A and B are shown apart, each in its own frame.
Chain A
Amino acid sequence: MKKIAFLMVVILAFGALAGCATGGSTKTLTINDIQTDPFSFTGEIVITGVNAGFFHDDPQVFFVVDTAELLACKDLACGAFQLPVIYEGGGGLPELGDEVVITGSWGTYRVQGQGGIEDVDIFEITKIEVKRNIMNLLQ
């Protein structure tokens, strides 16, 4: 009987530990969370979304859209807000349609505008994690 009680205690303790382990994780923001007032988020933040396309002049720059919005409208081009991000770290870049979790902070990026070179705001990625590709869900 002691063995049975011990086994049950181990199962419940494992469950409780797992609960504690998941409770302390950093809040991951969605594109919907940040799109209307992005600069109210300061320092290093974590955002999740889907790679909806690359900048034609620089493949290290790509645009991230809201996952929920994309799942609803099923078209990579339909995102009302596309967050420009740049990843200059090692490792590969995400594929088109990859759902990513990106860590980083706001920075600036030089582009050739109509009136000459100008600085635009961009999200500079320090860490990128690809969760899955959702292109098959967009058919």
Chain B
Amino acid sequence: MNTLKLVSKNLLRRKGRFIFTLLGITIGMAAFVALLSLSGSMQSEIRKQAAMLGANLIITPKNWCAYDQISILTGESLPESLQYEVLEKVASVDGVTAIPYLTQKTAIQNSPVLVTGMHPQETLEFKEWEIAEGSFFSAQDERAVVLGSSIANSFNLQVGDTLTIRGAQFPVIAILQATGGNDDIAVYLPLAVVQEIYEVGNYISFIAAKVDDLAQMESYEAAILDVANVAVTSDKQLLSTVLSMLGTVNMTLQLIAGVALIAAAFGIINTMMAAIYERRREIGILRAIGAKRGSIFRIFLLESGVYGLLGGLLGVVLGFVTSLIAAPLISGGDMSVLLKGATPQASLDATIVLTAIAFSLVISVAAGMYPAWKAAKLTPVEAISYE
């Protein structure tokens, strides 16, 4: 009988014990995979949104906290806090192109939708949007709407349809090409129109700015602060603030998953130790017919390795299913509430699969070391004479 056959026979000798030990490592790995999957997707989503913002500097009121800044990345509505004159001051700085945003919300078919007021032509160039259908605004105060592609698809809206916002009706004049970011999930109107219908006077939410020379970022920041009483954040600072908040939460969750894995590893040790005591006579016979200590060690190590491999594979599947279930539930939790629109999505890539299986194997093999060493240490005489 070869080693692999012997290993599989030994494992399946006690089916109940095999299943429950396997479930231990499977559940531990599933927790680990689910967390990796959810947090990985959230991080990549936030990075993507930061890249799609297309701005080097974000100008906000001084009293905004990290929570408000996150909303810029997650595409939530923001308070109208900056006077329009601030935009003129910022735009007066040499080498800075500044565009205003006023973000509000409305509902289409009872679903909340972001309404963004902006300067049409400047924003079109700034964001490098392309028009999929219809024609873009022809005037700074045209009373019409342009839709992000996902909004048009989700609500089955077309050019020529009418949208009601705050009781006023607006024709849809264009639909943007999909960008893959938050720009797809907003409704766009000229800034002046949004200010009027939402009755916010000449206020805007924030300013996005591009600079001519990225190497001179600090001097641009200083120049803006000289002309306006505002807070200036670079896109990298903004991204790092959001990711550090996410990182703290992730680390806590991964520690919890780690505890589950350690518990599972002790389950393997326990199972293997029980197997050694049950199979002492068998180990003795194997040793008596010439099996070396190394062979016995290998058999037991392989057995725990099989737990790791199977547990890893099943854990990946179960973890992914769990993350599919958990994603919508988590979106109501404190983490997501704090990170607002950055709702976690289940995603699984080759790195997560390979990391999980490798990690599961390493833990299981490490857990099997001590029992395998104990088994290999037995002499034929003490093994056979055991009652």
Chain A residues engaging chain B, CB cutoff 8 angstroms = 1, 3-4, 7-8, 11-12, 15-16, 18-19, 22-23, 25, 27-29, 32-37, 39-43, 45, 48, 67-69, 71-73, 80
Contact = CB atoms under 8 A, between A and B. Distances in A.
A68 B332 CA distance: 10
Contact of B321 (A19, A43, A45, A73): A19
Contacts of A28: 332
Contact of B112 (A15, A29, A67, A80): A29
Interface string B96-137: 000000001111101110010000000000000000000000
B328 interface: yes
Interface residues of B, number: 37
A29 to B, nearest CB: 6
B323 to A, nearest CB: 10
Nearest to B320: A15
Interface of B: 12, 15, 18-19, 65, 67, 76-77, 79, 104-108, 110-112, 115, 164-167, 198, 314, 317-318, 321-322, 324-325, 328-329, 332, 334, 337-338, 340
A68 B321 contact: no
B325 A37 contact: no
Contacts of A35: 77, 105
A67 to B, nearest CB: 6
B195 to A, nearest CB: 12
Contact of B110 (A11, A16, A18, A43): A43
Most central of B115, B166, B328, B337 by chain A CB within 10 Å: B337
Contacts of A15: 318, 321-322, 325
Given A3-B15, A72-B65, A80-B79, A40 B325 contact: no
Contacts of A25: 328
Most central of B165, B325, B334 by chain A CB within 10 Å: B325
A7 B27 CA distance: 14
